[in-house]
Amino acid sequence: MSNQHAQFSAELLHRVQDGVPLVQCLTNAVVANFTANTLLALGAAPAMVDLPTEAGPFARVASAVLINLGTPQRDQRIAMVEAATHSNAAGTPWVLDPVAVGALPVRTHLARDLLGLRPTIIRGNPSEIIALAGAGHGGRGVDSTDSAEAALDAARHLAIDFGSIVAISGATDIVTDGARDVRVDNGTVLLTRITGGGCALGAVIAAFAAQDNDRLATTVAACAIYALAAEQAALESAGPGSFAVAFLDRLAGLTPDDVLAGVVIG
């Protein structure tokens, strides 16, 4: 199975680079620039369309949509529900990233509303996944206080209850559809030392989801390729600043052969 995932990941990277998926990002102000640059480095096209009355129609023509709850101002909250509703109507895959859900009431209420719209994919850190499932109160701000393995039962329940693929980000990423669990063992702690290291992954997951209907496999591929690029960038970095630049360069230069040789999926 791991070899099949590696081969599919390599193929999918080529398809993303050739297809230039248009990814609509309703994301937070802190990470918008890094998220857009990550998509560009991958070969996708970012579109930060997050205004009410624009977000819905754009979701119908986008290849995929990311909804990230990092800084949910009022107008953006309206636009997020609009984009998710129109995505469902048009069959556009969309990713929910429930940033800091749990203890903070505005985003937690919004996350519950969006969860009811049945996201194609949910991506979060372990504490966010546990809180979204109603089994905890979140982490310390945007940081997780739980492990990916500790969040697995919550992730499985979310996947089964809402028909979503769930990706738990951690030292080892775990992707589940409720019945099958796949682990990605690439990565580096430097992803936690830069702004947007997790949030930009949600956009990459969206870009990959646009390429194939096997959303478990596309999510595994996105996580593996993202983590591999980060792992390789860390080898040539002196710290977080140089890592952020090296990561974008490595993501832009990654080839299908690199993926086949480097991803660790089990």
Q: Which residues are annotated as a binding site for ATP?
A: 123, 169
User: Would you list which residues are annotated within the binding site?
Assistant: 48, 123, 169, 196
Q: Which of 116, 179, 181, 120 is nearest to 148 (CA)?
A: 181
Structure tokens at 238: 């002196």
Q: First vs last Cα of the chain: how many Å apart?
A: 7
How far is Cα 94 from Cα 67, in angstroms, rounded to an integer? 7
How far is Cα 145 from Cα 260, in angstroms, rounded to an integer? 33
User: Would you list which residues are annotated within the binding site for substrate?
Assistant: 48, 196
Structure tokens at 90: 């048009």
How far is Cα 10 from Cα 28, in angstroms, rounded to an integer? 30
How far is Cα 25 from Cα 67, in angstroms, rounded to an integer? 6
Structure tokens at 55: 């977000």
How far is Cα 44 from Cα 204, in angstroms, rounded to an integer? 9
How far is Cα 15 from Cα 208, in angstroms, rounded to an integer? 9
Beta carbons within 10 angstroms of residue 150's beta carbon:
18
